[in-house]
Amino acid sequence: MHYSSFLLGAALSAAVVLTFQEPPPPAPQEPQKTTNVAQPEPAPAPTDQPGRPARHPLEGVFELRSRVVDGVTQHESRGYLAITHRHMFLCVAASGTDPDLPLLRAAVHEWKPDRELVRRVVRLSYYTDGGGGIHVEAPGGIELRMVRTVQGGVRVMMDEANWLDFTRLE
């Protein structure tokens, strides 16, 4: 019995010692696995943020709703326009006269309002023509373009009979 009393005493002593010790640090955990589901972020409110001017009404991300050429709506067109505080990013694809040669346009411009127009400076811009030729615009080129808000989006005017209408996505 002496041996069993010794074991019982040792066990109780160990329990008392463990009770008054600080708990061991938690074991390192594996990082949680995340899924790659992008959650859309709400557009910033049109209020002043410290160090940044108020958001311009043209800023946002837009999807091409319609492309009008010589007053006629072209139905075989897709595109996007993203406008940040300082840059415009455009990507448009449309059917051409030859079904094997689509019309493509991609551009990055710096922009700022200029009275009722938008002053755009080319940073990167290219487009294809009906024969499949690729045309690159020289960086630094400046153009004034009418870009205005319309119901639910923006309209980019080329001239009175040619424009692109975009629907706001965010």
Domain spans in the chain, listed from the N-terminal domain onward:
60-168
Alpha-carbon torsion (149, 150, 156, 161), positive or negative: negative
Indicate the helix (H) or strand (E) that contains 19: helix 2-20
Q: Is the pLDDT of residue 77 over 50?
A: yes
Range scoring the smallest mean pLDDT among 21-25, 89-93, 98-102: 21-25
Band (pLDDT 50/70/90 cuts) for residue 9 is very low
Percent of the chain with pLDDT over 70: 71
Range scoring the smallest mean pLDDT among 18-32, 109-123, 129-143: 18-32
DSSP-based three-state secondary structure for 16: helix
Task: Give the model's pLDDT for residue 50.
Answer: 75
Whole-angstrom distance, CA of residue 55 vs CA of residue 64: 22
**Strands, DSSP E only, in the chain?**
60-69, 72-74, 77-83, 87-94, 103-114, 117-128, 134-136, 142-145, 147-150, 153-159, 162-168
Angle, CA 165 vertex, CA 164 and CA 169 arms, to 5°: 130
Whole-angstrom distance, CA of residue 158 vs CA of residue 142: 14
Task: Give the model's pLDDT for residue 47.
Answer: 52
* Residues in CB range of 53: below 8 A, 6 or more apart: 85
* pTM of the model as a whole: 0.69
| pLDDT tens digits, one per residue of 28-76 | 555 444 444 444 444 545 555 677 778 899 999 999 999 999 999 987 8
Please tell me the CATH code under which domain 60-168 is placed.
Answer: 2.40.128
Task: Indicate the Cα dihedral angle 51, 53, 58, 59, nearest 10°.
Answer: 10
